[in-house]
Amino acid sequence: MAQVDNAITTVSTKGQVILPKAIRQRKAWDAGTRLIVEETPEGVLLKRAPAFSATRPEEVFGLLPFKGEPKSLEDMEAGILAEARRRHDRD
């Protein structure tokens, strides 16, 4: 990965820092990108914040209500295959 040699930026009176354009482009960090700021022994690390907070399966399992008989694995596979065929035929 190419690095910006000796890039220097200044902290504004509001605590803002301008990141070099080359870095923002490589990382695809457009205006409004949320970043995690992590202090490390070497300095400060910036990482893109995840779009959604981490969840455990038991926190979300069963959130969508379903009424009717449970579907078998064969029924689910047939439904997936039918949808894949429908999408393929549409193209």
Name the DSSP class of 70.
Answer: P
* Residue 73 resides in a domain: no
Q: Say whether pLDDT at 89 is over 90.
A: no
* Residue 25 resides in a domain: yes
**Number of domains into which the chain is organized:** 1
* Residue 90 resides in a domain: no
- pLDDT tens-place string over residues 35-78: 999 999 999 999 999 988 888 887 877 777 778 888 899 999 99
* Mean residue pLDDT across the chain: 88
* Residue 30 resides in a domain: yes
Using CB atoms within 10 A of its CB, is residue 27 exposed (0-12), middle (13-18) or buried (19+)? middle
* Residue 77 resides in a domain: no
Domain residue limits at 43? 1-52
Q: What's residue 68's pLDDT? A: 86
Question: Considering the entire predicted model, what is its pTM?
Answer: 0.52
SS (H, E, C) 35-54: EEEEEECCEEEEEECCCCCC
> What's 17's domain CATH number?
2.10.260.10
* Residue 29 resides in a domain: yes
